[in-house]
A and B are shown apart, each in its own frame.
Chain A
Amino acid sequence: MKVAWFTPLSTRSAVGEFSLHVTTALAEHCTVDLWVSDHDVHRQTELRTFLFGDDPALLHRLAQYDLAIYNLGNNDAFHGTIYDASRLRPGIVVLHDRSYQHLFAEHWVLAGDAGQYHERMEVLYGEEGARRAADDLGGARPVWESDADALRYPLVEEVLDRALGAVVHSADHAHEIRRRWFGPVGELFLPAYPNGDDARPGERDDGRVLLLTLGRVNRNKQVHRVLEILADDPELAGRVEYVIVGPGLDGSYGREVAAFAREHGLDQVSFLGYQPDGVVDQLLAEADICINLRYPPLESGSASLIRQLEVGKAVLGFDVGAFAEIPAAAMAKVPPGDGEALERVLRQLVDDPSLRAALGATAAGYAATLTPQRYAEELLDLADYTASWEPVVRTVDLIADELTLLGAGRALPALTRIGHEVGVLVSGMRDVTSSQPLLRALGPGDRDVLARFLERNDVPEVTVHFHPFPMTSSSAEEIVLRAGDDWYFGAFIDGRLVGLSMLRGWNEGFDVPSFGIVVDHGSFGQGIGSLLTDFTLDRAPWLGSERVRLSVYASNERARRMYLSRGFEEIEREPVTHNGSADERILMLKELKQ
């Protein structure tokens, strides 16, 4: 597979850093080219890079790729041309932010095309949206300067229009997107990546606890909440040092919080403004507590949070958005409206070094599981899943195109009726998938997804019971390309293969096929095994089989009972040594009725 990966590569862009790590992992599975348009100091990559910002004609080459992935954030300088490219060829969009008001404000309004902005606000959000946009253009406070309004009219529909699939970085954001868009949405947690190891924790001579807040200084970071706590409690304030790193000090909020600190004599608080990576890394290494209060959540996931977890810091944040999805033991969380809780937990953290250490250790362990490799694999599964939506996306696009060709005006009631019919078909499909996996026979197109499944499940907890063939990509190839008379079935959830079953033995000349099943170890206990078993046995008569046999170890009591309940009868027991101890291999048989 050949992937075109659109991203900013600027050293000032967090998305650029993310892209660098993910594409490196992705390149282990497929060919990845980077498509970059920003003019800035770029990060170094070994992947082939096309600078299409200089030469838009390059975009004609997109036809050569199997898949285009567009990284989109709420910023025109880094993402505007990526948005433009995504109009040319449908692909998967990675939604780094929840609102795209800034992107389009800059892309359209500042570029002199306020009419476009106004029209899209009306099309997407009706009269209400039109009125709000008109206020903007009439000089009132623009939508994009209010977090609440930016989330209410996120313009994310605009970037999703024509997308084949979307990637978001939290379940919460996925839920929000599914309310607005019918296509496939993948929830992938942001990966963690070590930033080099130059930074060493420094010894602090004054014994104070170092609090650190990173990122552009604006109301969303809720710095004032911490300052108010410190102002109210000189005793606590005396035991900490609070460093705020990030640009934005000349903005109204930056000036406001700096003035507050001055007026309250909080000289242990310092605003350092923008700092290069090296300085930030050093401060992060020295920090005792990372204060990461963002409200409301504007990002899909939080790269800064993952970074802080990865370096093993105690993090204090609000229990919303992606933060809410971090295990409770890996960070300290308080409800956003609860000032008392914030003060209480902050004090606990300052008071108790062992609590900080425990949180930090759990955090680092958790972040270690969020590898770019895992992200890359999940992304590839999503790409397969997205392919399954192609007929729907195609049908919906076809309808849109045809209605345009038919000159059907937007106000026609027929459009509402058509929309309703499309909605029933599409939402019906999603209900089916979310409530149960998609079950079907495997075919040659499933080679990669099966290979990933087998390799992922080459772990003792699976292979102890299941070992008819090695869990390798060559087995996968054998299975899908040379199945012969044998049959293999898969259970898919969101494009991820989570269970494999089989009726095999025909190829070797047996009359009675042997049933086998293996469920992804990450999906145990969800009923996938029973579902896939019933499905497979249901197919057997149609495959020309009147009886099915299987073997199961006596030690696998749960499986044995499931087979008994499905009408399998024990016909033979044979003592074996299994897994180093004495066991019995039980042969079972089931007569099938049409």
Chain B
Amino acid sequence: MKIAVATTVVPFAKGGARRHAGELTAALSRRGHEVDEILLPFWPDPEEMVEQMLALRLLDLTHEAELLICLRTPSYLLRHPNKVVWFLHHHRPAYDLRETYPDPRTPHSDAIRESIYESDRLGLREARRVYAISRVVADRLREYNNLSCEVLYPAFGDADSYHCDEYGDFIFFPSRIAPLKRQALAVEAMAYVRSDIRLVISGKADVPEHLDRLRELVAGLGLEDRVELEGAWIDEGRKRELYAGCLAVLYPPLGEDYGYVTTEAFAASKALITCTDSGGPLEFVQDGRNGLVVEPEPRALAGALDELAGDRPRARRLGEEAKRALRRLDLRWDPVVEALTR
């Protein structure tokens, strides 16, 4: 079958959508489909959103492919009679973050938000089927769009490329640096940590100011010796090395849609420490079994870090159970391809 895999991307940002589209394309090709990837630039500035949405609507891919698979919002505005959406996330500032992290207020915010709602309704209604990338996202689709859909987890094809060397003396926090990922919360927690465990934060900042602010926080708390900030894209080899050597992985985002960090940590046999409001990771992490789930609050987080630092065998036990949990999840491409091309 001729299949077009479409997603929106933000130029220069190496977000999950790009990776997702690439892996899906490869998986579909392996199954003998003729696949082409269509990456469309989209800049999520609400003020320019309506014309960009129209730009997508003006593209009709009916004659290009028999099936159009749409990923990141709002790529499902592309026109095609046989459209399947694998929904990654909403434009969250208009939905679940509307109260906490809304788009900047302008004279037209309300009208633009209405248009975002309307366009999502439109694109999703047109789709033959909609899958959500995680339970969290499926719940949001039900809550905000009155749409119930199946959850289809992304396959984790290269789980075997992760390994575990040891349960070392640092906690690893890999992620792009952004307020929603809550690196600041992790740094603040370090101020309360009593053990000598270190924290390695690595990832590129969405905007340089986020990194600067984090640096100031580290300096302000006098944590330069115990918090290592690698503010750049981490290459795949180095990332695996850090996963392999850390004691456990910390990932406390706010309402994450899915979170590749979880499965990567599990693949490296590492426990994941996350928060009760972290969203996606909670679908995999069971408190006290393959990780720790605590309140999103510095002291609680510090407690969790100390707990594992003071009991390495426990960190190992949780990590090994995490690896088993990952195997049980059976995140292969076959069922994904099956579902999307059904």
Contacts and interface: CB of A to CB of B under 8 A. Distances in A.
Asked if chains A and B come from one complex, the reply is: yes
Contacts of A409: 108, 111, 114-115
Contacts of B54: 399, 402-403, 406, 408, 418
A413 B111 CA distance: 11
A405 interface: yes
A467 to B, nearest CB: 46
Contact of A408 (B48, B58, B77, B115): B115
A406 B50 contact: yes
A403 B115 CA distance: 9
Nearest to A407: B118
Interface in B99-138: 108, 111-112, 114-115, 117-119, 122
A414 B47 CA distance: 8
A481 to B, nearest CB: 28
Contacts of B115: 406-409, 412
B47 A406 contact: no
Given A398-B58, A413-B47, A414-B48, A406 B53 contact: yes
A416 to B, nearest CB: 10
B102 to A, nearest CB: 18
Given A398-B58, A402-B57, A408 B108 contact: no
Nearest to B117: A407
Interface string B60-71: 000000000000
B108 A406 contact: no
A414 B57 contact: no
* Most central of A402, A407, A413 by chain B CB within 10 Å: A407
A411 interface: yes
Contacts of A403: 50, 54
* Most central of A398, A412, A417 by chain B CB within 10 Å: A412
Contact of A407 (B51, B108, B119): B119
Contacts of B118: 405-407
Interface in A412-440: 412-415, 417-418
B50 A411 contact: no
A417 B117 CA distance: 21
B53 A411 contact: no
Contacts of B47: 413-414
B51 A418 contact: yes
Nearest to B79: A402
A415 B54 CA distance: 10
* Most central of A406, A408, A411, A413 by chain B CB within 10 Å: A406
B53 A412 contact: no
Interface in B194-229: none
Contacts of B50: 403, 406, 408, 412, 414-415, 418
Interface in A347-401: 398-399
Nearest to B57: A402
Interface in B46-94: 47-51, 53-54, 57-58, 77
A417 B51 contact: yes
Contacts of B48: 414
A387 B313 CA distance: 79
B111 A412 contact: yes
B108 A412 contact: yes
A409 B114 CA distance: 8
A407 B58 contact: no
Interface residues on A, range: 10 to 19
Given A405-B122, A406-B53, A408-B50, A413 B108 contact: yes
Nearest to B77: A406
Nearest to A410: B111
A405 B57 CA distance: 10
A279 to B, nearest CB: 60
A411 B109 CA distance: 11
Contacts of A407: 114-115, 117-119
Contacts of A418: 50-51, 54
Contacts of A398: 58
Given A398-B58, A411-B108, A412-B112, A406 B122 contact: yes
B92 to A, nearest CB: 19
A568 B115 CA distance: 63
B146 to A, nearest CB: 16
A409 B122 CA distance: 15
B122 to A, nearest CB: 5
Interface in B3-61: 47-51, 53-54, 57-58
Contacts of A415: 50
Contacts of A417: 51
A405 B54 CA distance: 10
Contacts of A406: 50, 53-54, 57, 77, 115, 118-119, 122
Contacts of B51: 414, 417-418
A322 B54 CA distance: 42
Contacts of A413: 47, 108
Interface in A63-99: none
Interface in A502-555: none
Contacts of B111: 408-409, 411-412
A137 to B, nearest CB: 28
A320 B111 CA distance: 47
A398 B54 CA distance: 10
A560 B57 CA distance: 54
A414 B108 CA distance: 10
A7 B54 CA distance: 39
Contacts of A412: 50, 108, 111-112, 115
A409 to B, nearest CB: 4
A402 B115 CA distance: 11
A482 B13 CA distance: 57
A398 B53 CA distance: 13
A415 B115 CA distance: 12
Nearest to B53: A406
Interface in B304-327: none
A418 B122 CA distance: 20
A404 to B, nearest CB: 9
A393 to B, nearest CB: 15
B27 to A, nearest CB: 32
Nearest to B106: A413
Contacts of B77: 406
A413 B54 CA distance: 14
Contacts of B117: 407
* Most central of A398, A403, A412, A414 by chain B CB within 10 Å: A414
A398 B59 CA distance: 11
Contacts of A399: 54, 58
B281 to A, nearest CB: 34
A409 B47 CA distance: 13
* Most central of B50, B77, B114, B119 by chain A CB within 10 Å: B50
B113 to A, nearest CB: 10
A415 B114 CA distance: 15
Nearest to A414: B50
Interface in B114-170: 114-115, 117-119, 122
B62 to A, nearest CB: 14
B19 to A, nearest CB: 28
A418 B115 CA distance: 15
A408 B77 CA distance: 14
Contacts of A402: 54, 57-58
Nearest to A421: B51
Interface in A136-173: none
15 contacts: A398-B58, A402-B58, A406-B54, A406-B115, A406-B118, A407-B118, A407-B119, A408-B111, A411-B108, A412-B111, A412-B112, A414-B48, A415-B50, A418-B50, A418-B54
Given A399-B58, A407-B117, 6 more contacts: A406-B115, A407-B114, A407-B115, A411-B111, A413-B108, A415-B50
6 smallest CB-CB distances across A and B, nearest first, come from: A407-B118, A409-B111, A414-B50, A402-B57, A407-B115, A414-B51
Interface of A: 398-399, 402-403, 405-409, 411-415, 417-418
